[in-house]
Structure 1
Amino acid sequence: MEETLYFLIVIGFLAGLMDAAVGGGGLLQIPGLFNILPQNTGVPTVLGVGKVASFSGTLTATWQYVRKLPVPWKMLLPAALLAFAASYLGAKSVAYFPTEYMKPVMLVIMLVMFAYTFWKKDLGQVVRTTALTRKEMLWGLFFGALIGFYDGIFGPGTGSLLAFVFVRFYGYDFLTANASGKVINTTTNFAALTFFVPGGYVVWAWAVPLALANLAGGIIGARLAMRGGTKLLRYGFMVLLCLMIGRFAWDLWV
């Protein structure tokens, strides 16, 4: 038990730091939990424990960002509400939806995102000063619902998808995009918890230390991101995409 607790704290801290800084904490946390927790632990329980920690870390990182950065609340709030509902539906569909089909789709999406970010050197480097248009507001609702459902049913890469959407389709710099994505990601994590917690899929003896470690990592990760600025986040984003591409490709290969 002591060894399990130690690994939970290490994984939780690193996942929280990584997720707050560039996203993709689930890439480290979910596989880590499957390896650390007992082999007879059900998939919904593993995901439930992970969601408690993810919510803790993401909420902390979001608070760190929005205190110091301007985010488009007028679009984010309704998008977050839709994302909440979609994430809840996604979490309820975990037992029925063949999530293995998500991996090849996500591999293609990540490859496209990496190629686009690599070739477009100025992507996410310019701070936007203009207000969102009505069309952009509507697209925000669509993306919120779509990515919210994905987060509820599968999860890994949600923060990266949100950040890329805000950079590519809204012209935000990586720092503002990361902050905006965290607002929606916090909502989707909470929505998933409204399914996992009442359903009895959370073992609190594992979830609490993992969440506290995730929270600590979230604080440090957000501060590192804000100090490093958009240039550092662009490089970190591409490194994260490489890791995710490798992860999904490995899962498909084996």
Structure 2
Amino acid sequence: MMFEVSGDLLFLLIVAAFAAGFIDSIAGGGGLITVPALLLAGIPPVTALATNKVQALFGSGMAAVNYARAGYVDVRRQWVAAVISFAGALIGALFASSLPTDVIRLGLPVLLIGVALFFAFKKGLDDVDRVQRVTPLLFTAAFVPLIGFYDGLIGPGTGAFFMIGFVSLAGYGILKATAHTKLLNFASNVGGLTGFLLVAKPFWMLGLAMGAAQLAGAYVGSTLASRIGAKLIRPVLVVVSTVLALKLLWDLI
């Protein structure tokens, strides 16, 4: 499906995609930038969500590859979790038009503020692994599909929720948690797009153009995060979660 867009508007959408790729590769929340930008461009909501999934694939994919190359995530050991994240998002996307998501949207700002407070004030959060509170099997079977389903159903905050799970339940350090988050977020983006393709048609050319910008932004962001670690990821995560919560509260007014 084609979408006519002026050169100025296309430039703004590409800039938004680059910024989203940069932020999302560090702390998640890239959809906070790209979804409103697509809606402001006059794209219908469901089509905007589908188009957003197209371009988000490139950012999360690049970040996942970059973190894997740096040795922070072993894809071969995480492929089962990635498949489960994919399946959860696929189911969530199929239910996106039929479930009462207003209830979830009311509680989401509270959850995101909780995430921001956790990472802002929790002592000892750094790049060192901590005590594992649940087994990898339980984490993969219970937590991963839940967040994957949420990503397909609604989306904003998925990266932050994966992060807090990896840190507080799996006991990962912040940088390792970020790396694993991007792999599972990439899988959920693929699943979400697959589900949306059954109910909507994205604007492919626009999505691919924004995807190229996402690639660049994600490369820069994940490279910086790999070098700096928790000193960069932690404050960005707090700011992004807070801004996303405030944005959602504003939309409810």
Separation in 2, partners of 1:114, 1:2:
37
Contact 2:26 2:237 (8 Å CA) reproduced = no
- Cα gap change, 1:114/1:153 in structure 2, threshold over 3 Å: closer, same or farther? same
Contact 2:133 2:171 (8 Å CA) reproduced = no
What is aligned with 1:145?
A: 145
Separation in 1, partners of 2:46, 2:36:
14
Residue by residue over 1:62-117, the C-alpha shift from the partner in whole angstroms, topping out at 9 and shown as x without a partner, is: 00001113336576322221111111111111111232222221112112222222
Is residue 29 of structure 2 the alignment partner of residue 14 of structure 1?
A: no
What is aligned with 1:2?
A: 7
**Percent of aligned pairs with the same amino acid:** 33
- The Cα shift of 1:196 comes to 2.8
Contact 2:174 2:233 (8 Å CA) reproduced = yes
What is aligned with 1:29?
A: 34
Superposed, 1:1-254 pairs within 5 Å as: 1-36=6-41, 38=42, 41-71=43-73, 76-123=78-125, 125-128=126-129, 135-197=135-197, 199-252=199-252, 254=253
- The Cα shift of 1:156 comes to 0.6
- The Cα shift of 1:198 comes to 5.3
Separation in 2, partners of 1:153, 1:197:
14
The one-letter code sitting in structure 2 at the alignment partner of 1:150 is Y
The one-letter code sitting in structure 1 at the alignment partner of 2:128 is V
The one-letter code sitting in structure 1 at the alignment partner of 2:222 is A
Task: Count residues in correspondence.
Answer: 248
- Range with bigger deviation, 93-102 or 5-14: 93-102
Secondary structure at the aligned position of 2:229 is classed as helix
Contact 1:147 1:161 (8 Å CA) reproduced = yes
Residue by residue over 1:3-61, the C-alpha shift from the partner in whole angstroms, topping out at 9 and shown as x without a partner, is: 2211111111111111012211011111111112x2xx332210111001101110011
Name structure 2 gaps, 5 residues minimum: 1-5
The one-letter code sitting in structure 2 at the alignment partner of 1:90 is G
Separation in 2, partners of 1:106, 1:44:
20
The one-letter code sitting in structure 1 at the alignment partner of 2:248 is F
Secondary structure at the aligned position of 1:188 is classed as helix
The one-letter code sitting in structure 2 at the alignment partner of 1:63 is V
Separation in 2, partners of 1:192, 1:180:
18
CA RMSD of aligned residues (A): 2.0
Contact 1:21 1:221 (8 Å CA) reproduced = yes
Contact 2:120 2:235 (8 Å CA) reproduced = no
Contact 2:120 2:234 (8 Å CA) reproduced = no
- The Cα shift of 1:203 comes to 1.1
- Cα gap change, 1:77/1:129 in structure 2, threshold over 3 Å: closer, same or farther? farther
Separation in 2, partners of 1:82, 1:147:
10
Contact 2:89 2:150 (8 Å CA) reproduced = yes
